[in-house]
């Protein structure tokens, strides 16, 4: 097993990193686009139900109504809502001899993802940078003061993040996964983050909040903001969360469940 530094998974992360100084010089390979939907015109078609037993249930409306939201109301979110979102994304729900299982699945139950928060408007929580401790279900305060401006700057200056009540930032402790799976472990780190983010988006929707995933960030700036040793732990994904200001996106036509497009 190669040491972390020698893994091609790590090289891939480095080679695909964004850096403020060089981002404009990145040359993307000329790869032709393809259609969004794959079709099998000659295949027999099996019609599917467009409503189902759970049509009226909360899960259907949460999935139907979730949209990436980039405009947030001025009101703070409640600490209780934040606690729910943290639990939904990374809460521990079961224990066995060797593992503490969580709300989100994890390749090999290795849980390489750490959660950090930049809290700006959370009722009962001082603005600051926090780390979520799922074992003790609490937040570690890392620094004081609203850092959402810094987070937005790290995220390619995506200024909508400044108005978020809270930004989630997920990092990968690479060794947790790569020590077992080698290069393939890098896939699992990134997949884990996707599961966690999706749970957060659904939990945000359930609490009357909106969220937007963010994967465009300057890796080194985000790692520095979070005080990470980037050789061991690196930023993977983020999301901005805030009170819903506009429920539906502009110019959006809402469809019924299972509607043909
Ligand atoms: C991997 C990933 C990265 C994304 N990164 C960003 C981002 O950096 N900034 C942003 O505004 N939206 C980002 N988004 C949100 C997408 O633009 C959004 O999911 C897409 O337009 C579909 O809209 P919906 O989420 O409302 O269904 C990202 C989404 C994903 C899944």
pLDDT band at 246 (very low <50, low <70, confident <90, very high): low
Ligand 1 centre to CA of 101 (Å) is: 28
What is residue 255's predicted lDDT score, i.e. its pLDDT?
87
Dist. CA 193–CA 111, nearest whole Å:
10
Handedness of CA 199, 205, 209, 213 (dihedral sign): positive
Residue nearest to atom 13 of ligand 1 (CA): 214
Whether residue 41 lies inside any domain: the answer is no
pLDDT tier, 260 (very low <50, low <70, confident <90, very high otherwise) = confident
Q: State pLDDT tens for residues 162-189.
A: 999 999 999 999 999 999 999 999 999 9
| Ligand 1 atom closest to the CA of 70, numbered from 1 | 11
Residue 249 has pLDDT above 80, yes or no: no
68 pocket-lining for ligand 1 (C-beta < 6 Å): yes
pLDDT digits (tens, 9 = 90+) for 97-151: 999 999 999 999 999 999 999 999 999 999 999 999 999 999 999 999 999 999 9
214 lines ligand 1 (CB under 6 A): yes
CA-wise closest residue to 219 among 205, 233, 199, 240: 233
Ligand 1 contacts CB of residue 194 (under 6 A) = no
Residue 201 lies in a domain: yes
Place of tokens 């091609």: 8
Query: Residue 179 sits in which domain range?
Result: 65-243
Residue 116 · residue 226 · CB < 8 Å: yes
Q: How far is the CA of 213 from the centre of ligand 1 (A)?
A: 5
Nearest CA to ligand 1 atom 31: 213
pTM equals 0.95
Does the residue 99 lie in any domain?
A: yes
Indicate the angle between helix axes 8-15 and 174-181, nearest 10 degrees: 140
Are the beta carbons of 151 and 218 closer than 8 angstroms?
Answer: no
pLDDT band for position 3 (50/70/90)? confident
Would 81 be classed as within a structural domain?
yes
Q: Is the pLDDT of residue 245 over 90?
A: no
Domain total in the chain: 1
CATH number of the domain at 117, please: 3.40.109.10
The mean per-residue pLDDT over the stretch 151-170 comes to 98
CB 156 near ligand 1, within 6 Å: no
């Amino acid at each position: 097993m190669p040491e972390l530094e020698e893994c091609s998974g790590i090289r891939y992360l480095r080679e695909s990193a964004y850096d403020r100084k060089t981002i404009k010089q990145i040359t993307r390979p000329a790869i032709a686009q393809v259609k969004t939907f794959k079709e099998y015109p000659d295949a027999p078609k099996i019609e599917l139900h467009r409503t189902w037993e759970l049509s009226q249930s909360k899960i259907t409306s949460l999935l139907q109504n979730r949209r990436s939201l980039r405009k947030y109301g001025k009101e703070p979110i409640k600490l209780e809502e934040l606690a729910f979102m943290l639990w939904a994304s990374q809460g521990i729900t079961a224990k066995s001899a060797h593992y503490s299982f969580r709300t989100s699945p994890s390749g090999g139950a290795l849980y390489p993802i750490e959660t950090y928060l930049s809290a700006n408007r959370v009722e009962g929580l001082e603005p600051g940078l926090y780390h979520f401790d799922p074992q003790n279900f609490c937040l570690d305060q890392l620094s004081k003061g609203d850092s959402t401006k810094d987070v937005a700057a790290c995220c390619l200056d995506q200024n909508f993040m400044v108005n978020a009540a809270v930004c989630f930032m997920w990092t990968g402790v690479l060794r947790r996964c790569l020590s077992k799976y080698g290069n393939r472990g890098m896939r699992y780190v990134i997949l884990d983050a996707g599961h966690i983010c999706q749970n957060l988006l659904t939990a945000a929707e359930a609490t009357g909040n909106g969220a937007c995933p963010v994967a465009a960030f300057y890796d080194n700036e985000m790692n520095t903001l979070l005080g990470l040793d980037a050789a061991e732990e690196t930023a993977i994904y983020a999301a901005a969360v805030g009170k819903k200001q506009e429920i539906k996106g502009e110019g959006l036509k809402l469809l019924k469940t299972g509607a043909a497009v």
